[in-house]
Structure 1
Amino acid sequence: MRRLVFGALGALALVGLLGSPAAAHPFGPPSTARVTVHGSSLTLVWHAAEDDWVALGQSVGAFDDPATDVTGEQKLQRSAAVHAYLLERMTVRQAGQPCPGELGELTDLLTEGATIEYACPARVDEVRIRLAALMDLDEAYRTVLVGDSEALFTVTTPEQQLRFTGSAGRGAVLWMAVGTGVVVLVGVAFVLWRRRRSA
């Protein structure tokens, strides 16, 4: 059933019924990313909603594929432009040096998302991660780093510095330069706490 929906969305994109790429839901649930490290390798798994995948595919021309016997999801999976977009918009740098990324096979976009394996020059203790997918389509898009710690990546803070510790497999985050969005949330929570305490 899900693939039928993807096929229908792909067809709508082809005839332009979805409007501009940013007409997905930039104000809906944000995309998410999870990061784990193992030695000098870093694995990033990115998840986005179905209509956000469609907006992405539409923006890079993935649905221009004239094939009629494949679904919209399959067009996204085999699009070289989609692969290039993800690798360009989500990057990792270590001590100023890029960590080359390799995008895994996009077998199930909604369940498994997109997995990128990065090979860094040295053991991963601290890296600078850029999560800017979809933000070129609408400034309201954002990505939340989930896991042991969280961070909010937005159009104003698309890159953040993360430091890892613990076992190599867990890749627990010790410290990060959080974006202004997270700082604002913490500030609001503190103000509410002070008001309740005063009351």
Structure 2
Amino acid sequence: MSPFGHRRRLISAARAVALAACAVTASITAVPAPAAAHPFGDPQTVAIARDEQRPEVVRVRWRVGGTDDLALLGVSLGLLPRDRVMADGAVEYRHTDAALIGSSEELAAYLLQQITVTDRERPCAGAVEPPKALARIGATVDYTCPGPVGMVTVAVRMLTDLNPAYRALATGPHGQRAVYGSGEDSHDWVLTGARATGSTSPGRSATVQIAAVAVGTLLAAALMMWWRSRRRRAVA
């Protein structure tokens, strides 16, 4: 084969390696969009914090992911008619639903049943604040524990009784994070002291290091192909 033929083969191989390296890097560094957390749309969110004025109180704020999920909850609680759920599974939401559901005793009882807080296995009593904008801001529950809290266990089972595919993304003090779901409905949260680590995804620096190793391996393979090509030409 002519030197030009070897050069074309080497260029083609280098291009293939570069494309593969880009694909590996993209697959490693890509972060799933929050909407992919459950199959129905945006996930629920939960924010957990200690009340600075009342050290024995843990404040939990829950917000629904989508208005159709809120309407489905209203149907399950008997607050909305069942014909809101269409034959194809779609749920009809109306702008008056949030106020109706938010002011109900049924929602308050459901929140206290599905979200619980314990301090060293001692249950904390919950009190639901009347929601002012349930669909947009969510609902807040204050849990009063037997004494000042440092670390608590918070269980969240919101909507998983309707479908186990629901997920809730939770945040807490010091950058703590967790994902609640069916079978993973309980997490410990450090509310005071030094920065703590929760159930988080790998950090960006670790991801970049993994990508660099993958790219380096592919480049080494390209170099080996180039060296073998030179040796074959020298022998010829």
**TM-score of the two chains, using structure 1 as the length reference:** 0.70
Q: Deviations over 1:89-127 (max 9, x none)?
A: 011001111100000002211232100001011211111
Question: Who is 2:46 aligned against?
Answer: 33
Gaps of 5+ in 1: 1-24, 65-69, 167-171
Which segment drifts farther, 88-97 or 139-148? 139-148
How far apart are the structure 1 equivalents of 2:117 and 2:195? Answer: 15
Whether the aligned pair in 1 keeps the contact of 2:98 and 2:135 (CA below 8 Å) is no
Residue 174 (str. 1) matches residue 196 (str. 2): yes
Residue 161 (str. 1) matches residue 183 (str. 2): no
Question: Who is 2:113 aligned against?
Answer: 88
Give 1:173 deviation, angstroms.
6.1
How far apart are the structure 1 equivalents of 2:166 and 2:208? Answer: 27
Structure 2 SS opposite 1:174? coil
Question: Who is 1:45 aligned against?
Answer: 61
Whether the aligned pair in 2 keeps the contact of 1:164 and 1:175 (CA below 8 Å) is no
How far apart are the structure 2 equivalents of 1:78 and 1:134? Answer: 18
Alignment map for 1:131-142 (pairs within 5 Å): 131-142=156-167
Question: Who is 1:58 aligned against?
Answer: 75
How far apart are the structure 2 equivalents of 1:142 and 1:81? Answer: 22
Give 1:161 deviation, angstroms.
1.2
Whether the aligned pair in 2 keeps the contact of 1:33 and 1:47 (CA below 8 Å) is yes
Question: Who is 2:28 aligned against?
Answer: none
Which segment drifts farther, 34-43 or 96-105? 34-43
Structure 2 SS opposite 1:198? helix
Q: Which has the higher strand share?
A: 1
How far apart are the structure 2 equivalents of 1:116 and 1:197? Answer: 47
Question: Who is 1:198 aligned against?
Answer: 214
Question: Who is 1:108 aligned against?
Answer: 133
User: 1:79 corresponds to which letter in structure 2?
Assistant: S
Whether the aligned pair in 2 keeps the contact of 1:162 and 1:173 (CA below 8 Å) is no
Evaluate the alpha carbon distance shift between residue 198 and residue 72 of structure 1 in structure 2; reply closer, same or farther with a 3 A threshold: closer
Report the structure number with the largest CA radius of gyration. 2
Give % identity.
Answer: 28
Evaluate the alpha carbon distance shift between residue 63 and residue 173 of structure 1 in structure 2; reply closer, same or farther with a 3 A threshold: farther
How far apart are the structure 1 equivalents of 2:214 and 2:58? Answer: 46
Q: Deviations over 1:18-64 (max 9, x none)?
A: xxxxxxx7442111111110311111111112111111111111125
**TM-score of the two chains, using structure 2 as the length reference:** 0.60
Give 1:192 deviation, angstroms.
7.7
The aligned length equals 158
Q: Which has the higher helix share?
A: 2
